């Protein structure tokens, strides 16, 4: 009886200390997101002051459209990072899907649905292949997808002879995807929003999502709990391949042709940076779609602002690399892990 009566009191005291500590509150209820909101507001105000055209509705739509493809890849990158993996090949996958969608479209007599179905099928196949290599080949996800980055980029160049393929802007479906609007918002943005909502619901409110967090948090405990880790890993990489294919289709619709590398180059770095900035712990088990979406908006606003100001585009890569380092440093400090090479 003594243990029964004293334990709730101890728990209550711990809860009270948490409520009294504002840092604990922010860490639990969105400190990362609040930081991203503040950074986004700062970027918008800064470039808005520097250029009067930056905060116009038209430019905001340009930012949203440009960030859509990165956003789709960042969302699924967040899922695989939560699961304890990583996919460096998402940009190359989008490039393959872009070329396949345009070539299948042309080959099927300008049938947009055949082109899109072919791209999604190839994306799914690539995703499953990545998962099988990682699970049954016992290859580290970073190494496996780094190999995929080169291989799928080469594949896209081989099947396209290194040139843009097809022309899709004579088709109403592709024009609608790339340039249409619903309720004032570009269709591409709606696709990103719906994807974010679907993945958020999957992660937060289903057993599948809880198992993904469990695998990334402690794969040994997850295995002992009866979770089929191999099945989940293959399924997660299949999801990445499918969404990367959708991103490739939107790239085709936006540019008007299948792009083997142009438009998809560097997307993997943007996706990983957005996921890390959004709070996805690279060691797995932690992250969320809301933070990732805010990070995508921040990267898009920063990239557009630098472009509007006429700053050399190479500085955009410098900024992305710096933001990725900052995100990882923040994660390491919060986790309390010992710095490499330094005494405890």
Domain ranges of the chain: 66-305
* pLDDT single digits (tens) 103-126: 999 999 899 999 999 999 999 999
How many residues are there in the chain?
344
Nearest 5°: phi and psi at 169?
-80, 5
Spatial distance between the Cα atoms of 210 and 189, rounded to a whole number of angstroms: 27
* pLDDT single digits (tens) 202-222: 999 999 999 999 999 999 999
Spatial distance between the Cα atoms of 131 and 135, rounded to a whole number of angstroms: 6
Nearest 5°: phi and psi at 71?
-60, -45
Closest to 298 (Cα-Cα) out of 265, 320, 325, 321: 320
Neighbours of 256 (CB within 10 A): 18
Closest to 100 (Cα-Cα) out of 255, 248, 263: 248
Predicted confidence at residue 7, as pLDDT, reads 41
Which residue in the block uniquely carries the two structure tokens 């179905």? Answer: 117
In which band, very low, low, confident or very high, does the pLDDT at 60 lie, cut at 50, 70 and 90? very high
Predicted confidence at residue 29, as pLDDT, reads 39
Instruction: Give mean pLDDT, residues 20-48.
Output: 69
Predicted confidence at residue 138, as pLDDT, reads 93
Spatial distance between the Cα atoms of 302 and 309, rounded to a whole number of angstroms: 11
* pLDDT single digits (tens) 152-192: 999 999 999 989 898 999 999 999 999 999 998 999 999 99
Rounded alpha-carbon distances, angstroms, from residue 45 to 95, 235, 293, 326: 34, 41, 19, 22
Q: Is 289 left (phi over 0), alpha (psi -120 to 50) or beta?
A: alpha
Centroid of chain to Cα 111 = 29
- Pure H helices in the chain: 2-20, 22-29, 31-50, 57-82, 90-107, 112-136, 141-160, 172-179, 187-205, 207-217, 219-224, 229-255, 267-277, 289-308, 314-335
Closest to 331 (Cα-Cα) out of 290, 289, 273: 273
Spatial distance between the Cα atoms of 47 and 41, rounded to a whole number of angstroms: 10
Which residue in the block uniquely carries the two structure tokens 């040994």? Answer: 220
Rounded alpha-carbon distances, angstroms, from residue 179 to 53, 126, 248, 285: 21, 28, 15, 37
Q: Both ends of the chain: CA-CA distance in Å?
A: 41
Name the 3-class secondary structure at 165: strand
Q: Which residue has the higher pLDDT, 339 or 51?
A: 51
Predicted confidence at residue 178, as pLDDT, reads 92
Spatial distance between the Cα atoms of 268 and 74, rounded to a whole number of angstroms: 8
* pLDDT single digits (tens) 236-251: 999 999 999 999 999 9
Please compute Rg for the chain using Cα positions: 22
């Amino acid at each position: 009886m003594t243990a029964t009566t004293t334990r709730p009191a101890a728990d209550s005291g711990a809860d009270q200390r948490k409520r009294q500590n504002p840092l604990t509150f922010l860490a639990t209820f969105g400190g990362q997101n609040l930081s991203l909101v503040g950074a986004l507001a700062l970027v918008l105000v800064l470039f808005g002051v520097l250029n009067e055209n930056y905060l116009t509705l038209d430019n905001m739509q340009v930012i949203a459209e440009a960030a859509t493809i990165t956003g789709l890849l960042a969302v699924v990158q967040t899922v695989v990072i939560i699961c304890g993996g990583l996919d460096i090949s998402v940009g190359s996958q989008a490039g393959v899907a872009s070329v396949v969608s345009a070539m299948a479209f042309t080959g099927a007599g300008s049938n947009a649905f055949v082109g899109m179905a072919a791209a999604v099928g190839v994306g799914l196949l690539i995703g499953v292949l990545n998962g099988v290599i990682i699970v049954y080949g016992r290859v580290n996800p970073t190494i496996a997808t780094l190999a995929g980055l080169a291989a799928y980029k080469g594949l896209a160049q081989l099947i396209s002879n290194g040139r843009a393929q097809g022309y899709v802007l004579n088709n109403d479906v592709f024009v609608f995807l790339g340039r249409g609007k619903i309720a004032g918002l570009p269709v591409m943005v709606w696709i990103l929003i719906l994807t974010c909502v679907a993945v958020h619901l999957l992660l937060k409110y289903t057993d599948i999502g809880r198992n993904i967090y469990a695998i990334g948090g402690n794969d040994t405990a997850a295995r002992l709990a009866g979770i089929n880790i191999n099945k989940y890993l293959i399924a997660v990489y299949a999801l990445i391949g499918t969404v990367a294919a959708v991103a490739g289709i939107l790239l085709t619709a936006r540019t008007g042709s299948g792009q083997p590398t142009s438009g998809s180059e560097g997307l993997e770095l943007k996706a990983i940076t957005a996921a890390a900035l959004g709070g996805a712990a690279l060691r797995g088990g932690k992250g969320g779609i809301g933070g990732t979406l805010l990070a995508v908006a921040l990267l898009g606003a920063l990239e557009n602002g630098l472009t509007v100001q006429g700053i050399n585009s190479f500085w955009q890569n410098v900024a992305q690399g710096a933001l990725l380092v900052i995100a990882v440093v923040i994660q390491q400090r919060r986790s309390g892990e010992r710095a490499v090479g330094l005494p405890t």
